[in-house]
Structure 1
Amino acid sequence: MSSCTRFVLITLVIFQCLSLLCLAQDFDFFYFVQSWPGSYCDTGRSCCYPRAGKPSADFKIHGLWPNYNDATYPSNCDSSNPFDLTQISDLVSSMQRNWPSLACPGSDSTKFWAHEWNKHGTCAESVLNQHGYFETSLNLKSQANILQALETAGINPDGSYYSLDKIKSAIEGGVGYSPGITCNVDDSGNRQLYEVYLCVDSSASGFINCPIFPSGQCGSSVEFPKF
């Protein structure tokens, strides 16, 4: 074997090893995030319904995000494996119900799903392929019925204000784990219940207690707007 050929083979082996290292699990846990559509729409940016029509009045999936315990996160980890709708064709109808895009202009939500996979999903390839990433997210939503937990505690999306502590307690009572809550601000300056963060272990097998919570920007009392 010539020295040139040997060099090429060694280079290829090194490249393959580096590629495997890049795809190795490199995060501590997942955030599983659900959004309240009424709060998304009740801001200056407004919203547009998907082509399938107005979504049901329920929390919707925003994403499943690999995170580190120091509050940072990896992103856009593998450009060689972009979103491919054909890999999740059996999940599309469920995703349209549970993971719709409200961004304007209205769409079929595939751009939103592509963004979530390309930015976040590719950083979890050692655990979940594309189909597994979206299927796991749908399964997690079925396990964490946020709206039901709130309504059981008398917290309803009727434009009323509720104690943030009571909101957290209601979700913890219904789901079994304490949530992180983030709020938005409407045109009148009112802080609204917007997103609920639950944490999932790094193998995506189930919910865990959160190592760290996001900065919520909520007051002690927040509005739960209609949708």
Structure 2
Amino acid sequence: MKPNFSLLFKLLILQYLSGLCLSRDFDFFYFVQQWPGAYCNTKQGCCYPKTGKPTADFGIHGLWPNYKDGSWPSNCDPDSVFDKCQITELMSSMNKKWPTLSCPGSNGVRFWSYEWEKHGTCAESELDQREYFETALNLKEKINLLQILKDADIEPDDGFYSLDRISKAIKKGTGFTPGIECNKDSAHNIQLYQVYMCVDTSGTNLIECPILPRTQCGSDIQFPKF
């Protein structure tokens, strides 16, 4: 019997389209906030955005779709490019709560474009472009990490605090266990760098993390000044 190439071609197309759809599915979000002091005092340094030095507060790094097995989708729709016109009304809050510290200094558009195209396009089944950025800003309002830590007498004063104490303070303040990521400053001190919280696929409700990111922190870590 001769193979039915027309049928085989249709099956391959269906399989390909199915794969594209699957790439858009995800199980939860990581909402990641970054401490600017820990970003700037590494060997690579930092550059302030054109709007000036950010306030001494945790800034948004991103809202990242993830799978429960520890993997994640990325760049799910190359045709869905970042359009800053869709977030014009959010721009003031974006500059304050989602600043870029990479060099050379910029107005943040390149950073936000990268976050949308790599991560946001994989959440389009739940959130359109404006909703994606608005959701992240709302989560920042809900999760005031700096105040939570200050309430536990953990200050960005270059002091060292136990990782367990930091984690427990955030869990007490949010109700959920955080993921803590560290980096090293130019003197090789291990310091508090990023905090991961898990959010359901609607981007609305905090949840207990199905899996925490693998990070390397010591038992005591520095909370650097900024």
Residue-pair matches, total: 216
Q: What is the alpha-carbon distance in structure 2 between the residues aligned to residue 135 and residue 69 of structure 1?
A: 24
Q: What is the alpha-carbon distance in structure 2 between the residues aligned to residue 21 and residue 206 of structure 1?
A: 27
Q: What is the alpha-carbon distance in structure 1 between the residues aligned to residue 40 and residue 73 of structure 2?
A: 28
**Any conservation in 2 of the 1:162–1:221 contact (CA below 8 Å)?**
yes
Please state how far the C-alpha of 1:18 moved relative to its aligned partner.
2.9
Q: What is the alpha-carbon distance in structure 1 between the residues aligned to residue 213 and residue 105 of structure 2?
A: 29
Q: What is the alpha-carbon distance in structure 2 between the residues aligned to residue 18 and residue 70 of structure 1?
A: 23
Alignment match, 1:216: 215
Alignment match, 2:27: 28
Q: Could you say if the C-alpha distance between residues 52 and 19 of structure 1 is closer, same or farther in structure 2, counting changes exceeding 3 Å? A: farther
Task: Describe the superposition over 1:185-215 as per-residue Cα deviations: whole angstroms up to 9, x where unpaired.
Answer: 1111110000000000122221100001111
Please state how far the C-alpha of 1:35 moved relative to its aligned partner.
0.1
Task: Judge which range, 43-52 or 23-32, deviates more.
Answer: 23-32
Please state how far the C-alpha of 1:23 moved relative to its aligned partner.
7.5
Task: Describe the superposition over 1:67-107 as per-residue Cα deviations: whole angstroms up to 9, x where unpaired.
Answer: 01111100000011110000110000000000000001110
Q: What is the alpha-carbon distance in structure 2 between the residues aligned to residue 137 and residue 157 of structure 1?
A: 24
Alignment match, 1:97: 96
SS of aligned partner of 1:118: helix
**Any conservation in 1 of the 2:95–2:108 contact (CA below 8 Å)?**
yes
Please state how far the C-alpha of 1:19 moved relative to its aligned partner.
7.9
Q: What is the alpha-carbon distance in structure 1 between the residues aligned to residue 148 and residue 214 of structure 2?
A: 22
TM-score, L = length of structure 1: 0.91
Alignment match, 2:3: none
**Any conservation in 1 of the 2:24–2:76 contact (CA below 8 Å)?**
no
Q: What is the alpha-carbon distance in structure 2 between the residues aligned to residue 57 and residue 117 of structure 1?
A: 25
Please state how far the C-alpha of 1:175 moved relative to its aligned partner.
1.3
SS of aligned partner of 2:90: helix
Q: What is the alpha-carbon distance in structure 1 between the residues aligned to residue 47 and residue 99 of structure 2?
A: 11
**Any conservation in 2 of the 1:24–1:126 contact (CA below 8 Å)?**
no
Alignment match, 1:75: 74
Task: Describe the superposition over 1:149-188 as per-residue Cα deviations: whole angstroms up to 9, x where unpaired.
Answer: 0000000000000000000011111111110000001111
Q: What is the alpha-carbon distance in structure 1 between the residues aligned to residue 23 and residue 206 of structure 2?
A: 22
Q: What is the alpha-carbon distance in structure 2 between the residues aligned to residue 43 and residue 198 of structure 1?
A: 24
SS of aligned partner of 1:183: strand
Corresponding letter in the other structure for 1:82: V
Task: Judge which range, 104-113 or 197-206, deviates more.
Answer: 197-206
Alignment match, 1:149: 148
Q: What is the alpha-carbon distance in structure 1 between the residues aligned to residue 196 and residue 157 of structure 2?
A: 22
Alignment match, 2:166: 167
Contiguous gaps of at least 5 residues in structure 1: 1-6
Please state how far the C-alpha of 1:21 moved relative to its aligned partner.
5.6
SS of aligned partner of 2:110: helix
TM-score, L = length of structure 2: 0.91
Alignment match, 2:187: 188
Within the alignment, does 1:140 sit opposite 2:136 as a pair?
Answer: no
Within the alignment, does 1:120 sit opposite 2:110 as a pair?
Answer: no
Please state how far the C-alpha of 1:118 moved relative to its aligned partner.
0.3
**Any conservation in 2 of the 1:23–1:125 contact (CA below 8 Å)?**
no
Alignment match, 1:4: none
**Any conservation in 2 of the 1:23–1:126 contact (CA below 8 Å)?**
no
**Any conservation in 1 of the 2:148–2:170 contact (CA below 8 Å)?**
yes
Corresponding letter in the other structure for 1:188: A
